[in-house]
């Protein structure tokens, strides 16, 4: 996909606030500080489109971005961030669950996991929810530039084993710094956008 335009559309938390025009949606999910907003900015080639922060918990609502006037990219709040109230964590959980389980326009979820961290209980729950809702998923191991080549393969193999994935090659290693994995991720997204 050639990016002609990419703009923030809206933030939402309730299903009746989500766009209703039937455009395909590509969602980005993962724990807080996994690199969702950074990945979106790299994909869309706009440095500050999705707000980023070194501190986890920056994205607190479901953010919709209008791409080329034909598809929405959706930045979901990160999970597992302990420094917010229990009530807010529960609200995020409900919002994410409602979004993932009910959006018939959702084509695929890019599930981001920082390559340096073992998949969390929440990562397992997200994969279970996506499988139950029959939502296609691509796993993206982020921040691969922060580990050496030999160490990276060890981390990827451990991630695949922890998540019960047979093929390590099905995980896309991604670096916002070197742009490694960008083409592979775009190929996956393009295939899902064109699928009816």
- Mean pLDDT computed over 129-158: 92
Residue 133 has pLDDT above 50, yes or no: yes
3-state secondary structure (DSSP) of residue 15: helix
HSE on the CB side for 182, CA within 13 Å?
15
Q: Whole-prediction pTM value?
A: 0.89
Cβ neighbors of 27 (< 8 A, separation 6 or more) are 73, 74, 76, 99, 100, 106, 108, 109, 110
Tokens 């002609």 sit at which residue? 4
- Model confidence at 57: pLDDT above 50: no
In this prediction, residue 196 carries a pLDDT of 61
- pLDDT greater than 80 at residue 51: no
Domains of the chain, each with CATH number or no CATH: 6-194 (3.40.50.300)
Alpha-carbon distance of 141 to 14, in angstroms, equals 29
Would you tell me the crossing angle of helices 182-194 and 36-44 to the nearest 10 degrees?
A: 80
Q: Most confidently modeled of 12-16, 51-55, 116-120?
A: 116-120
**pLDDT: which is higher, 134 or 56:** 134
For residue 7, give the nearest of 34, 36, 45 by alpha carbon.
Answer: 45
Paired tokens of 8? 């923030």
Give the length of the chain.
196
Q: Tell me the mean pLDDT in the region 89-102.
A: 74
Per-residue pLDDT, averaged over 55-67, amounts to 73
Mean pLDDT of 128-141: 91
Distance of CA 129 to the CA centre of its chain: 14
Q: What does the pLDDT read at residue 86?
A: 57
114 vs 84, higher pLDDT: 114
Query: Around Cβ 124, how many Cβ atoms within 10 Å?
Result: 13
How confident is the model at residue 83, as a pLDDT? 47
Residue-wise pLDDT for 181-190, tens only, equals: 999 999 999 9
């Amino acid at each position: 996909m050639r990016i002609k335009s990419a703009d923030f559309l809206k933030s939402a938390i309730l299903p009746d606030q989500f766009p209703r025009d039937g455009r395909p949606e590509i969602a980005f999910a993962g724990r807080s500080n996994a690199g969702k907003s950074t990945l979106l900015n790299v994909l869309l080639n706009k440095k500050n489109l999705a707000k980023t922060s070194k501190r986890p918990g920056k994205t607190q609502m479901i953010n919709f971005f209008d791409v080329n006037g034909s598809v929405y990219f959706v930045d979901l709040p990160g999970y597992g961030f302990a420094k917010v109230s229990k009530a807010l964590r529960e609200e995020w959980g409900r919002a994410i669950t409602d979004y993932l389980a009910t959006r018939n326009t959702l084509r695929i979820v890019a599930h981001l996991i920082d390559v340096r961290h073992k998949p969390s209980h929440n990562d397992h729950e997200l994969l279970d929810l996506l499988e139950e809702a029959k939502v296609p998923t691509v796993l993206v191991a982020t921040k691969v530039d922060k580990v050496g080549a030999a160490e990276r393969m060890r981390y990827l193999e451990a991630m695949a084993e922890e998540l019960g994935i047979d093929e390590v090659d099905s995980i896309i290693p991604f670096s916002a710094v070197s742009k490694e994995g960008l083409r592979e991720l775009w190929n996956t997204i393009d295939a899902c956008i064109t699928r009816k």
